[in-house]
Amino acid sequence: MKSGIFLDRDGVINEVLSKRVKFVNKPSDLYLLPKVGEAIKKLNDAGYPVFVVTNQGGVGLGFMTEKALKAIHKKLVEDLQAFGATVIEVVYCAHKPNEGCECRKPGSKMITDLAKKYEIDLKSSYMIGDRDVDIMAGKAAGARTILVGDENTDLADQRFEDLYDAAVWITEKE
């Protein structure tokens, strides 16, 4: 089995609650964060399959359609390809917050389902997120965890300013 990288989307890969965009509800709202393409390419080059696991309650709440969400993810994959970076699969929970589903982070079902499908060893893999729910999902799945950004928590195994710094650490460490 191989190791994998599981990434949250908003706040890790793309801007959210920024000067340019509050929420990503259509493809034109998607702006990659600085050095994200280079970070994912670095992980790809080191042999890591990269996956995106994202809560998208805006679908369940009616702020966007599932069709629009799929168009956003298509743009995300295309934007990353411009850097030579590859995401194997993007999975999402479209349920409303507090709906009690197993897939919504902090639940680990999105991660464990991907691990089973792609034969990923979770103990040697990483879940990278910018919020407690991402870290809790990674821990529940049995993965190592990395927090990026400025969330005030000590739940994660490691902490970095951004995805690029995390990718450098992972690839130099292994």
CA-CA distance, 170 to 96, in Å (whole number)? 33
What is the per-residue pLDDT for 57? 87
Residue 129 in this model has a pLDDT that exceeds 90:
yes
pLDDT for residue 173 is more than 80: no
The answer on whether 45 is annotated among ligand-binding residues is no
**CA dist list (Å): 84 to 9, 14, 68, 114, 157:** 18, 17, 25, 22, 29
Give 18's pLDDT tier (boundaries 50, 70, 90).
confident
Ranges 14-18, 78-82, 112-116: which has the least confidence:
14-18
121 is in an annotated binding site: no
Rounded Cα–Cα distance for residues 42 and 114 (Å) = 21
Active site residue ranges: 8, 10
Confidence (pLDDT) at 54: 96
For the chain, the domain total comes to 1
Q: Residues 72-90, buried b or exposed e (16+ Cβ, 10 A)?
A: bbebbbebbeebebebbeb
What is the domain extent for residue 69? Answer: 5-173
Residue 93 marked as a ligand binder = yes
pLDDT tens digits, one per residue of 87-118: 999 999 999 887 788 899 999 999 999 999 99
Asked whether residue 157 is marked as a ligand-binding residue, the answer is no
Positive/negative CA dihedral, 18, 23, 27, 28:
negative
| pTM metric for this prediction | 0.96
The amino acid at 26:
K
Tell me the pLDDT tens digit for each residue of 62-71. Answer: 888 999 999 9
Question: What is the tens place of the pLDDT at every residue in 141-161?
Answer: 999 999 999 888 889 999 999
Residue, of 152 and 128, whose pLDDT is higher: 128
Q: 25-53, pLDDT tens digit by residue?
A: 899 999 999 999 999 999 999 999 999 99
| Alpha carbon separation from 121 to 3, 48, 76, 133 (Å, rounded) | 5, 11, 26, 21
Per-residue pLDDT at 174: 62
Q: Which of 167, 131, 154 is nearest to 54 (CA)?
A: 131
- Any idea what the CATH number is for the domain that residue 119 is in? 3.40.50.1000
Which tokens in the block code for residue 80?
């990353």
